[in-house]
Amino acid sequence: MVRAAGGSINSHSCTKCVQTADIQQQYLELTQEAMAKFTIEKDIAQHIKRTFDERKGPTWHCIVGRNFGSFVTHETKHFIYFYLGHCAILLFKTQ
């Protein structure tokens, strides 16, 4: 278990979490759902992004993959980056 930003992520490596615990838990559950439902990384990212746009308002961005770099600007407390298995997931919100 990894402790991160007021919550815990079981069997996942949280690299950086800058958000509230409720959003973090919703994100984790949604990511697990998306990875069970889809096998293509683009489809996983699309599902996560669209769901967060609907639930939390626009504009969310999601990147899913095994090898990528990033340098992004995000709203305060609306950024999470962690690994689920061998796959990295980055989700952040902009204005």
Q: Which CATH class is domain 2-93?
A: alpha beta
Neighbours of 20 (CB within 10 A): 14
What pLDDT is attached to residue 9?
42
* Mean pLDDT value of segment 5-25: 60
Cα 59 to Cα 38: distance, rounded to the nearest angstrom: 22
What is the tens place of the pLDDT at every residue in 59-76? Answer: 999 999 999 989 999 988
Domains of the chain by residue range: 2-93
